[in-house]
């Protein structure tokens, strides 16, 4: 029997049993839990934080709708092609096709759960565009409040499920090569949930950086749990910086997103002098893929010495009504987007890589699944296409729930694994965020990544005695693999830009896998 340490969980504390444990309550976690529940599984959801990244998603869901309701000349082939172009040679084309082709069905299921989307005329959904999409194929809700509507509908559908709030999953219990449960920290102290199937749906790791569009719980928990359990993670160097996060001086933590759909409706990026940022950079101009736009903004800021650029949305028709979330965030910061350009900077937004899975969320460990931002299905490659994340969370979340339920039925109850407490290296968050923001941000180089590695070497082992220590340990583990993979990838590709290797190297068109992490990333 092998176990990973349970942090402060130990063998004592409270105990629960389930068929399927889902860690995380955003789109992927709730889709998974509902699917497993429908299959008759006893499901326990563990929720660490009140807010999910799903809630904050603005732009929408990229989906190819059936002919009868589609408003544009679109096809699965076209959506797959756009996804592959954005992914810069590292997508798994079969995974992309499988997920894209299942999108309309998954969205119909979401509508069945009560979600509403904006209409352009009665019975016809309004479609918008974002960077990298050659068609208008993004459905949205409440203008720019799509994530809030998805979360509302799924929360409502899952209201009768067993959701344990303020429960932090500290470690995976592994018994003889299969998952056996999770050690957990709750307000009642340490404990264990035993289950033959565990689904990681913990979201991203935006708080690796000083400023991010992610909610405060996005601390890379699922990737860290996988790393500690020896489960392969891949493509982690591809951290996507959203080109337009609201700039509000040196404020850190979660900053408001300024949705790309504004550019889909005519807004444009300019510098302090009103000069366009994107002219001559890419044939798609302001709607180029996200990595291209973020790098162009960085280049303009570094050439001018300015701390931000501006998104001029003044010509967007009825901007305050169409984009109420953005308008409210701007006005709260003293900016009126109807009259003024919006100050923006690129901000850490999305982890394109993560725990290696197939398109049913299966990982290398029997009974362990991952879905949503925490996972690496091969959908995003080196750079995620806008609004493909809610799509992937819905589709793969649902499939992972089915697979986990089926596995639980076959596997039967797990053995009670007694695990010893363990120590994890922890770098204090301000130091970690300073090093990641300085050396592993939009543009990297070997010297900086070496400094990041040296900083991470100073991490001190600590017991996981609180949520904040656990989160700092998780961030430290994830920073380690992001830094190692970024250093190993000596080229520029997708959202990984190396100033010392500015070209794409065809010989490096392969994913870097860290497995297990102690043996390095290659």
Binding site for ligand SIN (CB under 6 A): 57-59, 130, 257, 259-261, 350, 386-387, 389
41, two tokens:
């599984």
* Contact (Cβ atoms closer than 8 angstroms) between residue 208 and residue 436: yes
Q: How far is the CB of 442 from ligand SIN (least distance, A)?
A: 16
157, two tokens:
């559908």
367, two tokens:
């009974």
290 among known catalytic residues: yes
- Please count the other Cβ atoms lying within 10 Å of the Cβ belonging to residue 3: 18
Residues whose CB is less than 8 angstroms from the CB of residue 388 and which lie 6 or more positions away in sequence, other chains included? 62, 83, 379, 380
Q: How far apart are CA 290 and CA 435, in angstroms?
A: 23
DSSP-derived secondary structure for 406-473: HHHHHH-SPP-------EEEE--HHHHHHHHHHHSSSEE-HHHHHHHHHHHHT-EEEE--SHHHHHHH
Q: How far apart are CA 428 and CA 444, in angstroms?
A: 22
Q: How far is the CB of 389 from ligand SIN (least distance, A)?
A: 5
Residue nearest to ligand SIN (CB): 59
Q: How far is the CB of 386 from ligand SIN (least distance, A)?
A: 4
- Element holding 269 (H helix, E strand): strand 268-270
Which of 375, 354, 477 minimizes the C-alpha distance to 422? 477
Q: How far is the CB of 258 from ligand SIN (least distance, A)?
A: 8
Distance from the Cα of residue 386 to its chain's centroid? 12
Residue 7 or 131 with smaller CB distance to ligand SIN: 131
Residue 145 or 432 with smaller CB distance to ligand SIN: 145
SS3 state at 168: strand
Residue 290 or 444 with smaller CB distance to ligand SIN: 290
Q: How far is the CB of 57 from ligand SIN (least distance, A)?
A: 6
Residue 133 or 467 with smaller CB distance to ligand SIN: 133
Residue 261 or 482 with smaller CB distance to ligand SIN: 261
CA–CA distance from 209 to each of 225, 239, 346, 384, 442 (Å)? 20, 11, 12, 19, 11
Residue 130 or 298 with smaller CB distance to ligand SIN: 130
Residue 204 or 480 with smaller CB distance to ligand SIN: 204
257 DSSP 8-state letter: B
Backbone angles phi, psi at 458, to 5 degrees: -85, 0
501 DSSP 8-state letter: B
Residue 242 or 489 with smaller CB distance to ligand SIN: 242
Q: How far is the CB of 244 from ligand SIN (least distance, A)?
A: 7
CA–CA distance from 5 to each of 25, 187, 272, 456, 464 (Å)? 24, 20, 53, 21, 10
Q: How far is the CB of 318 from ligand SIN (least distance, A)?
A: 18
Catalytic residue among 39, 164, 255, 290: 290
250 DSSP 8-state letter: B
Q: How far is the CB of 243 from ligand SIN (least distance, A)?
A: 8
Tokens 């994890």 found at: 424
Tokens 């009140």 found at: 50
Which of 374, 468, 476 minimizes the C-alpha distance to 424? 476
Residue 57 or 371 with smaller CB distance to ligand SIN: 57
Backbone angles phi, psi at 44, to 5 degrees: -120, 130
Residues whose CB is less than 8 angstroms from the CB of residue 334 and which lie 6 or more positions away in sequence, other chains included? none
Paired with 123 in beta bridges are none
Tokens 């005519």 found at: 266
Q: How far is the CB of 363 from ligand SIN (least distance, A)?
A: 24
Name the residues annotated as catalytic: 290
């Amino acid at each position: 029997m092998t176990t990973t340490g349970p942090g402060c969980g130990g063998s004592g504390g409270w105990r629960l049993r389930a068929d399927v444990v889902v860690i995380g309550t955003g789109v992927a976690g709730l889709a998974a839990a509902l699917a497993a529940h429908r299959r008759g599984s006893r499901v326990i959801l563990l929720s660490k934080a009140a807010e999910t990244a799903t809630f904050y998603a603005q732009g929408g869901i990229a989906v190819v709708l059936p002919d009868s309701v589609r408003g544009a000349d679109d096809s699965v082939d076209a959506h797959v092609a756009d996804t592959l172009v954005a992914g810069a040679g590292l997508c798994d084309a079969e995974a992309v096709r499988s997920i894209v082709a299942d999108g309309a069905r998954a969205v119909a299921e979401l509508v069945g759960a009560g979600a509403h989307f904006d209409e352009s005329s009665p019975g016809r959904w309004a479609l918008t565009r974002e960077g990298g999409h050659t068609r208008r194929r993004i459905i949205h809700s409440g203008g720019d409040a799509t994530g809030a509507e998805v979360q509302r509908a799924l929360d409502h559908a899952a209201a009768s499920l067993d959701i344990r709030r303020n429960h932090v999953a500290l470690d995976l219990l592994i018994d003889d090569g299969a998952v056996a449960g999770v050690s957990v920290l709750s307000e009642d102290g340490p404990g264990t949930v035993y289950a033959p199937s565990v689904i990681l749906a913990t979201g991203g790791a935006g708080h690796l950086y000083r400023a991010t569009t992610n909610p405060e719980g996005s601390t890379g928990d699922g990737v860290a749990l996988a790393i500690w359990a020896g489960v392969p993670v891949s493509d982690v160097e591809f951290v996507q910086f959203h080109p337009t996060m609201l700039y509000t001086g040196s404020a850190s933590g979660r900053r408001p997103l300024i949705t790309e759909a504004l550019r889909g409706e005519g807004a444009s990026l300019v510098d302090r002098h009103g000069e366009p940022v994107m002219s001559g950079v890419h044939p798609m101009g302001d709607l180029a893929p996200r990595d291209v736009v973020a790098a162009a903004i960085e280049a303009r800021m570094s050439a001018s010495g300015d701390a931000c650029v501006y998104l001029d949305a003044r010509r967007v028709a009825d901007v305050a009504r169409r984009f109420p979330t953005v308008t409210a965030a701007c006005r709260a910061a003293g900016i009126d987007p109807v009259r003024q350009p919006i100050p923006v900077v690129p901000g850490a937004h999305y982890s394109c890589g993560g725990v290696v899975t197939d398109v049913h969320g299966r990982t290398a460990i029997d009974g362990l699944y991952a879905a949503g931002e925490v996972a690496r299905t091969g959908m995003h490659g080196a750079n995620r296409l806008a609004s493909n994340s809610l799509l992937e969370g819905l589709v793969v979340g649902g499939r992972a729930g089915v697979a986990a339920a089926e596995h639980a039925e076959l596997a039967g109850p797990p053995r009670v694994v007694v695990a010893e407490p363990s120590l994890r290296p922890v770098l204090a968050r301000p130091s970690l965020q300073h090093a990641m923001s300085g050396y592993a941000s939009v543009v990297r180089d070997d010297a900086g990544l070496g400094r990041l590695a040296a900083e991470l070497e100073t991490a001190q082992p600590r017991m996981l005695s609180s949520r904040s220590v656990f989160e700092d340990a998780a961030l430290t583990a994830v920073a380690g693999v992001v830094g190692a993979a970024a250093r190993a990838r000596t080229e520029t590709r997708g959202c990984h830009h190396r100033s010392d290797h500015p070209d794409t190297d065809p010989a490096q068109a392969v994913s870097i896998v860290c497995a297990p992490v102690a043996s390095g990333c290659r």
